[in-house]
Amino acid sequence: MQRRTLMRFVLRGVVLIVICLLIVLIFKTSQSKQETENRIQILQHCCFASLEGKQICIDEFDPILPIVIIYFHPECEHCQYEAREIGIHASEFANVNLLMVTPDNSIQRIKDFAAENHLWEIDNFELLLDKSNTFKRSFGTTTIPSVFIYKNKNLIKKYIGETKIEAILMVIEQQDNQ
């Protein structure tokens, strides 16, 4: 009988410890997400590699022009759709710094992706390589595709997942009218 009581006591203690650990984990995760949300409100200093191997820091672009940062992968169907639409609307991105960042390490695949989607026709366009997982640390996500729009280094809009180009252009147009 005493042994049974002891086992119940131990079991209750273990359950209580597990519940406490889960609460702490949930709190830390929530706190980390909030810190990331606060951090991305201002364009952070982070650098990526150009296709030529040159270091490009995203906070060094003209802050007066909107900066559209798209995290993508050339083999992602949603990214291909977005890139195709951007290529079709290339002229509407004339007054925008368009930065596309990829974790892909195949330079040829990335160049082919840009050529197929007429991205080279856009002024102020950069294709950048995320060789050291900088995007995750700076923007808090590796969801592909993701879009971040900044103006005067302040976050205007964030999209996670496939985004219609019309939505991006509407945000840019609203910033031009301000």
Which mean pLDDT values do the consecutive 10-residue runs of the chain (178 residues) have? 75 78 70 66 88 89 88 93 91 90 89 89 88 85 89 91 91 78
pLDDT of 136: 85
pLDDT of 31: 60
Please give the Cα distance from 152 to 108 (Å, whole number).
33
Q: What is the pTM of this model?
A: 0.79
